[in-house]
Amino acid sequence: MELDINKLLNDSFEIISESGKYAQQIRKDIYKNGFLPFDLDEIISVTETPAENEDFLMSDFLHKKIRLISDFPIISEEYHTRLTSDTFWCIDPLDGSFCFSHDTGPYSILISLIYRGKPVIGLACFPEQNIIYAASSITGSYFVKESKKKTLKYSLCSKNLRGIITNASPDPEPIKQYLRQFNITKFTETLGAPNPALILSGQGDIMPLFHRQYEWDIAAYDAILRYAHKSQTPVIVDMYGKPVTYGKQDTNRPFENPKLIATYNKNLITQICNNTKQKEL
């Protein structure tokens, strides 16, 4: 089966653009009287919070829209079944639900198309920042902000490597300690949904993804990062340097990823692989 990647990218770009506007609207409707309190005790004391509905509202919206442009299977956190095709959509309708309902940082919407084991299309929309990252195996990577399109290309950040630490990890200190063994002592800490594409903006050289995450959390960024480089080499890899695999179903937690890292630095990947193997001896 051959895909019309250009058409599918254009169609899915329109969908994710619409979904960003829809997310802003339901956020406004649900939290018109103020976002949920940050303190956990206060959250527990709130009865009948509407927050649990927003993921499913976004999911239903995206499913209906994607069904109009193709009949490929769709997997997401909210709805997934056993795959019978090597071509499928992998979506996260609302990555950063806590940020969405507490106003603590950027949330995002992620869409990707997996074809024969790799993402051939990837899109990440940050509605409140009015930014959409997009990529395909044909077009390369780019982002659109306020209707202005700009190509995304990888370039070296600096001689002194820097780590990007996402607050998706409950405690950043163990990750910083892990990176220090590779002589990485400078860090950029980010808020909101994890965004490995920040590597392309020069904010760092490596982002560890050690928190629990699934294929729909990663696939769009996998495409954005790999197609920003002319070699189209996978940039998000496991602790052995192997690319992320897609369609993992024969596990206790279907579609769950192992610990991953996002980096273009091949020397760093080699060091991490060697360190992983030594710990197993």
Instruction: Report all structural domains of the chain as residue ranges with CATH numbers, in order of start.
Output: 5-152 (3.30.540.10), 162-280 (3.40.190.80)
Q: Are 238 and 258 in contact (CB under 8 A)?
A: yes
pLDDT computed for residue 44 by the predictor? 47
Q: Are 237 and 259 in contact (CB under 8 A)?
A: no
Cα–Cα distances in Å, from 122 out to 68, 89, 92, 225, 228?
18, 10, 11, 9, 12
Token pair in block for residue 31: 């939290």
SS3 assignment, position 99: helix
| Ramachandran category for residue 135: left, alpha or beta (phi over 0 → left; psi -120 to 50 → alpha) | beta
Residues 68-110: tens digit of each pLDDT: 999 999 999 888 888 989 999 999 999 988 889 888 889 999 9
Which residue from 216, 221, 220, 257 is spatially nearest to 239, judged by alpha carbons? 257
Name the average pLDDT for the chain: 89
* 123-137: average pLDDT: 96
Q: Are 94 and 261 in contact (CB under 8 A)?
A: no
Query: What is the distance in angstroms between the CA of the first residue and the CA of the last residue of the chain?
Result: 44
Counted residue by residue, the chain has a size of: 281
To the nearest 10 degrees (0 to 180), the angle between helices 51-67 and 5-30 is 150
* Global confidence as pTM: 0.92
Residues 240-263: tens digit of each pLDDT: 999 999 999 987 889 999 999 999
Cα–Cα distances in Å, from 236 out to 12, 62, 174, 259?
23, 25, 20, 10
Please list the helix, strand and coil fractions of the chain in percent, rounded to the nearest 5, in that order: 35, 25, 40
Which residue from 33, 2, 190 is spatially nearest to 104, judged by alpha carbons? 190
Residues 132-176: tens digit of each pLDDT: 999 999 999 999 998 899 999 887 656 789 999 988 777 889 999
pLDDT computed for residue 234 by the predictor? 94
Confidence of residue 48 (pLDDT cuts 50, 70, 90): very low
Q: Sheet harboring 162-166: ordered strands across? A: 186-190, 162-166, 206-209, 260-263, 236-238
* 199-228: average pLDDT: 94
Residue 136: its H or E element: strand 131-136
